Structures are given as structure tokens and as C-alpha cells.
Structure 1
Amino acid sequence: MSAQDLPYVEVNPTTTAKATVIWLHGLGDSGNGFAPIVPELKMPEELAVRFIFPHAPVRPVTINNGMEMRAWYDIKSMDFSSRADRTGVNESADLVEALIEKEIAQGIPADKIILAGFSQGGVIALHLGTRYPHKLAGIMSLSSYMCEPETLTAEAHSANKDTSIFVAHGQHDDVVPMFMGNAAFKTLESNGYPASWREYPMQHNVCVPELNDISTWLQTQLS
């Protein structure tokens, strides 16, 4: 697969972009799902942030009776320890890395690029962000978890050891229970990452207080 195989929705600033947020959707959604939240983030114009919302490839998903849908990887079982299909995670991480490289080629430095994701997308953001060989501006994981956390120590690249990681979850999430998100946060913390944890009284979604916190964090990382 090559970069053009990953189509995306793009929301551009009014001036030439100086920074990019690549935001990955959850299972069965598309890049269109999160694009409408950009105005709600109220990013200052002078930061000139471009938002990219890629569409995951369409694939059969085992837990949904093999139904084809947009998914960053297959989910073979609801067992927490093996929920993410590592082969699919690696393939999608490669596709998203190609998108990052495309932004760098267009003049956005890696340290002005934030990798973000919700649910399945957060799995890819955490997986790729910690292994990516160039310093990113930040990594964000919302209502998500970590693929094979036990492999992080051996596979992590030192480039993003000091990169801020925003981890957030809903207290009433019945799709990805909050303990899974918190376990990812604790794995990051024990590996020395400057990760922050936030939880909100919500289900498997985003809420206004969370969007406000995300906006503050994005502005801090990109200023």
C-alpha cells in the first residue's frame, strides 16, 4: 500500500499551514466523523493548524461476524489482552507514517505534527507515535488502549521519549472499559513518558469539557 491508498478529509487554516494534527477515527467510522469538531476546538488562527482525518481501509471485522467496515485492524475477540490484531496495527501504522512523511515533504516539520486517535485510532497513534524515529509535537489517545503493551520497552524509539502524550477516557465507557485506557497510561508512565491522564463522566464518545482540555493541550504543544 502507498500513501494515496489512505484517503482523508482535510480542514485547512485560513493561512499557510504551520502545523498538522492527524486524527484517526474509531471502528466503523470514517474521517468525516471527527472533522466537524475542528471549529469547536477554537484553535488560534496564528497557529495555522491543518487537521487531517484519514479514512481507515475497509476490512472484515471478526467480532462483527466478518462484516466489512472501516477498521485500522481486525478485532478477533473481546479478550482484552489480544483485542488488537498486531499485523493490522503494523500495516495501518505504516500507512499513517506515510501521511506524516507527506506532511513533512510539504514543509511541516515533524515536531509540529500531532498524532491523535479515538478508540482504534488511538491504538495506532500510541503504537506509531512511540516507535516513530522523529520527534513529534504530541501524541493523543482518546477512549483507547495499547496494542501489546509488553513490547513497548523493546520497540520504542528514543525520538519521542520526551513527547507529551494526552490520554483521556470516559468513566462509563462500555465499549473500551476505562481500565484499558488507564493501563495504557500506566505503561507509558512506567516507561518514562510525560503522559497525562484525564477522565470524564461520559461513555465511548467525546464531551465538551474534554474538547476544551484537548484544545488547551494542542495549543500548548504547537505554540
Structure 2
Amino acid sequence: MAAVQKLQRCAVSQTGKHTASVIFLHGSGDTGQGLRAWVRDVLTQDLAFSHIRVVYPTAPARPYTPMHGTLSHVWFDRYKISNNCPEHLESIEAMCDSLGAVIQDEVRAGVPKNRMIIGGFSMGGAMALHLACRYHRDVAGVFALSSFLNKGSVVYQAVENAAGSPLPELFQCHGTSDELVFHSWGEETATLLRKAGMNATFHSFPGLHHQLCQQEMELLRSWILKKLPDDAVPR
């Protein structure tokens, strides 16, 4: 087995006691720092909480087949950008191991997995689904923004096989004008995961292209707080 690769990361620290964590994965060709800056531009401030640390890992540079083997910061390789082709499972499995180490770092910091959410944008969302639905089903939730799974994804089978066992809740968003990762691919992903037994919500944003928007990020923030409430705040 190959050694687990240690990933670079940046983080937005909580302002109070650290009792929960969000691991937010960037899209292909981006970095953790790049995604943090983009989120900050969209929200006009960091995605920050009193009790939740937000961690932005960076995928290592690897040859990326859709770019004719050019090095790119991608979570896994693809044979092509399509929902109708096999998954590149070798690269996905290796990255699940590396991201599992990021999760374990949060556990060592005192955060149990049921107080964690894993999510991402575009390829980062697909990676988060593999990680949460196949290997870390005890996390509080998973989110996927402008993301999709291939039609024959092993994630669907993993969710079906987990019938009767706890599964993370899925929060998914997609723009209707996304021409890179089509809205229909994202919607089909949510439908198939729901059919397999997952609690999944899908939000459409009319006119949104392959990008983040403020309304989407505010909705995500509210969902995160619902799943990971601050136990220090009386309710």
C-alpha cells in the first residue's frame, strides 16, 4: 500500500471553543487557499463560526487526463468529464486515505466525527461523497456544490449496502446555467442517492453558472449550523 500523502491545508479557526469541524474541498485546478479566498469574496467575509473550524485542504498536483496529462491540483483523475463513464477508482481510493488523515487530525484535536461535516465544490463535492458515504458514514453531513457522481458510481452501491445503518445527510446545490457540470447531472445524483436510501436535499439556483453565489453560501451556512449547533449556546 502506498504511503498516505500529507496534504497542505489552510483553516479558518473558530472564535471560541473548538467543538466541531467542516472540511471544505476545492474544485479541480484550485487550492485550499484559493477556495477560501473565493468564499470570502462571495460572502464578503470568511465562512467562520464561534465553535466550528473550517479546514481547506489542497489536492496534490497530478497528471489530469481531461487536460492531456498536464499537472493539476485535482482530487482524483477522470477518464473524461462525463457522468457516463467509469470512475478512476485507483486515484479516488488513494485520496480517500489522504483525506482520512485530515479527518483524524480533527479527531485528535478533540472533535468526534459526528461533529464534522465534509463537503466541496465541483470535483470536491464528488470527493466528499466518496469519503463520507463509503468510509466515514458517521459524520454529521456532506455537501456537494455544482457536483455530480458518475452513473455507475460505487457510492450508490455503498449507500444501498448501508440500509438500516446511519448515513450522513446530503445538502446539494447546483446552478441551472452550469455548462461545465450540467444541472441535470447534479439533480440525477441527488435523486439516485435518495433512492438508495440517503436523506438528500437539492437546491436549484436559476441562472447560476459553475460558480458560488451568496444566497447558496448563506443557505449552506444555515444548514451547517443546524447540523453542528453550538452546544455552549442555550436553546
TM-score by length of 2: 0.86
Which residue of structure 2 aligns with residue 193 of structure 1?
A: 198
Work out the percentage of aligned pairs sharing the same amino acid. Answer: 28
Seen in structure 2, the aligned counterparts of structure 1 residues 69 and 8 have a Cα distance that, compared at 3 Å, is same
Bigger Cα displacement from structure 2, 26-35 vs 140-149: 140-149
Q: Conserved in 2, the CA contact under 8 Å of 1:144 and 1:169?
A: yes
Once the two structures are superposed, residues 26-69 of structure 1 have per-residue CA deviations (whole angstroms, 9 ceiling, x without a partner) of 11000012213266466552xx1101100001001111121101
2 CA distance for matches of 1:134 and 1:106?
A: 20
Structure having the larger proportion of residues in helix:
1
Q: Conserved in 1, the CA contact under 8 Å of 2:11 and 2:55?
A: yes
Which residue of structure 2 aligns with residue 222 of structure 1?
A: 228
Deviation at 1:128, TM superposition (A): 1.2
Residue from 95, 100, 121 that aligns with 1:97: 100
2 CA distance for matches of 1:27 and 1:19?
A: 26
Which residue of structure 2 aligns with residue 112 of structure 1?
A: 115
2 CA distance for matches of 1:160 and 1:128?
A: 16
Unaligned runs of 5+ in 2: 230-235
Q: Conserved in 2, the CA contact under 8 Å of 1:23 and 1:51?
A: yes
Q: Residue type matched to 1:132 in 2?
A: Y
2 CA distance for matches of 1:153 and 1:146?
A: 9
1 CA distance for matches of 2:215 and 2:16?
A: 28
Once the two structures are superposed, residues 72-94 of structure 1 have per-residue CA deviations (whole angstroms, 9 ceiling, x without a partner) of 11122234222642211111111
Which residue of structure 2 aligns with residue 56 of structure 1?
A: 59
2 CA distance for matches of 1:131 and 1:31?
A: 23
TM-score by length of 1: 0.90
Q: 1:1-223 counterparts in 2 under 5 A?
A: 5-36=6-37, 37=39, 40=45, 43-45=48-50, 48-82=51-85, 84-147=87-150, 149-156=152-159, 158=162, 161-200=166-205, 201-223=207-229
Bigger Cα displacement from structure 2, 76-85 vs 5-14: 76-85
Q: How many residues align?
A: 221
Seen in structure 2, the aligned counterparts of structure 1 residues 148 and 95 have a Cα distance that, compared at 3 Å, is farther
Secondary structure at 2:209 match in 1: coil
Secondary structure at 1:13 match in 2: coil
Secondary structure at 1:17 match in 2: coil
Unaligned runs of 5+ in 1: none
Secondary structure at 2:84 match in 1: helix
2 CA distance for matches of 1:172 and 1:145?
A: 15
Superposed CA RMSD in Å reads 2.2
Secondary structure at 1:32 match in 2: helix
